Chain A
């Protein structure tokens, strides 16, 4: 029998999970335990010394979380993954493996506002610097490369603007600079875009959004593509040099093409501590089983709503890459042929005040700071998620003051359109 390659929907249901060896339970059990017994002293020492695979303590790993990790790794086409407490935790853990004080990253300006804050303020206190570049101008990434550059960070589909990033072009810049490309694939999910196929070395997610998909659990994940050679120079000592934490083990030499995921676990998660609750892992896993079905419906609804808004007399502009007239439509056709996602922005002819009125008149859309829920959501980014930016930076990140962001759910699209219609005319 030769190997068969299962499809995406099969992996979404099965990857990483098998009937529980002890009880035969078919759904993945919630291993709600802090710790795991050792067989004997040698087993304990082997686990602590990274000589054996196994469970020690839930801050470092947990069997429920492991199923989630393997599943997302399989969906993204990576070698391994590490689940953590939130999308933001995933970013901190990734950069802690790559950066020393004085090092730099290059990040796209079009990012989730929380990530812009994290990079600008929190990272400054670690001595990590950010150079900003413009995803619509690939040369701006090249110009930003310095001898201190250690990584490039982009979003596949940017929040809030819904614009599509030319991942392959930026991957080429990263390759030339000899640094890994990190892609936040939260808004696309691997169902729409698989960044590793386009040259990403590391993929991160806020599982809180479409992957979990039901607005009930925070989580984050780091996927190792297994593509980057960490030992080709001495830029990444966490992976290439003997680790004093583990009596001199070199992680890439020992773990090969999943060494980055191991570093994130045994250096990052172990020492920084943002572990994911097994209960949240279970909720997110259950969500992932229906990811393909939900994403199809999210995208179908989003396109219908965007088309409705684009034809409405009170609407000034709709930024949805799935519309043929959108400036990102060509990139959407290339990178996300199944759909351009379900988060996008639009602006009203009567400006900021009309946007505020619209939000308060909506009856079905929930006004809150999240995306990727089964429910449709609305927010005004300039006064909330992106409020800490100055006006110029707001415009550059796709959150101009007159812009309203929608995250389209999986309700009936006719009801969503009717709600927007009544709110626009109220």
Chain B
């Protein structure tokens, strides 16, 4: 699995199939990226579970915090890890002890741990690293285009009328990068010495 660039169809299949998402490192502070993503995904109809031992007893948008993944009382389809790269491995280890296993482990924008990804994949769990599910959802549904973002999708079909709380259609025909891969290439060139 190439974790430098994902096919739109890989991401789309994940966002279309998962229903429950445990967010590890969710913050109740309403200017934190995890709060943004939690709220957005909840409004799109996902069953969201905030995981953060520092906030047990409180709730996030009506959903009670749990201390750890093992405390969740129902199967979880996806684990979205809002921790930096050095804290990924223990969460993945915890996730791989769950039964049933989650289908997807997603590491937030900026977070990447290739060894943890390999371990999860060896157990049959799909992995996404260094991406934000809110941004990917917005991109593939073209909702993010309101912000002038290059969604890298084209469509001659009429989109559904977006209303609050509704799950926008992710099923636009994707024509991939439109050579937007140029920016990924350029980013890679930059990180070389």
Contact = CB atoms under 8 A, between A and B. Distances in A.
A197 B185 contact: yes
Contacts of A67: 145
A4 B39 CA distance: 32
A280 to B, nearest CB: 15
Given A66-B147, A74-B178, A79-B183, A19 B156 contact: yes
A3 B35 CA distance: 31
Interface stretch (B67-75, B98-106, B136-144): B136-144
A261 B149 CA distance: 8
B187 A80 contact: no
B31 A248 contact: yes
A254 interface: yes
Contact of A53 (B109, B143, B156, B181): B143
Contact of B175 (A5, A50, A255, A262): A5
B176 interface: yes
B150 A73 contact: yes
Nearest to B5: A3
A171 B113 CA distance: 30
A82 B154 contact: no
Provide the main secondary structure of the chain B interface: loop
CB-CB nearest 4 A-B residue pairs:
A3-B176, A69-B148, A77-B182, A73-B150
Interface in B5-41: 7-9, 30-31, 33, 35-36, 39-40
Contact of A254 (B33, B172, B178, B179): B33
A73 B152 CA distance: 10
Contacts of B59: none
A256 B154 contact: no
Contacts of B177: 3, 5
A341 interface: no
Contact of B162 (A21, A79, A228, A248): A21
A175 interface: yes
Contacts of A139: none
Contact of B164 (A22, A40, A63): A40
Max chain A C-beta neighbours (<10 A), residue from B154, B160, B186: B186
Contacts of B40: 51-52
Interface string A246-260: 111100011111100
B154 A78 contact: no
B189 interface: yes
Contact of B31 (A19, A196, A199, A249): A249
A18 interface: yes
| Most chain B CB within a 10 A radius of its CB, from A16, A18, A83, A200 | A18
Given A49-B30, A81-B148, A21 B159 contact: yes
B108 to A, nearest CB: 9
Contact of B147 (A53, A74, A197, A256): A53
21 contacts: A2-B7, A2-B176, A6-B176, A11-B178, A15-B154, A22-B161, A43-B164, A51-B36, A61-B146, A77-B179, A77-B181, A78-B183, A80-B148, A80-B149, A199-B186, A199-B190, A225-B186, A226-B187, A247-B31, A253-B110, A254-B33
Contact of B158 (A4, A20, A228): A20
Given A227-B187, A256-B132, A6 B151 contact: no
A227 B147 contact: no
A79 B178 CA distance: 11
A55 B146 contact: yes
B161 A21 contact: yes
Given A69-B148, A82-B148, A53 B186 contact: no
B168 to A, nearest CB: 10
B155 A53 contact: no
B145 A226 contact: no
A337 B190 CA distance: 24
Nearest to A262: B147
A77 B178 CA distance: 8
Interface in A197-228: 197, 199-200, 225-228
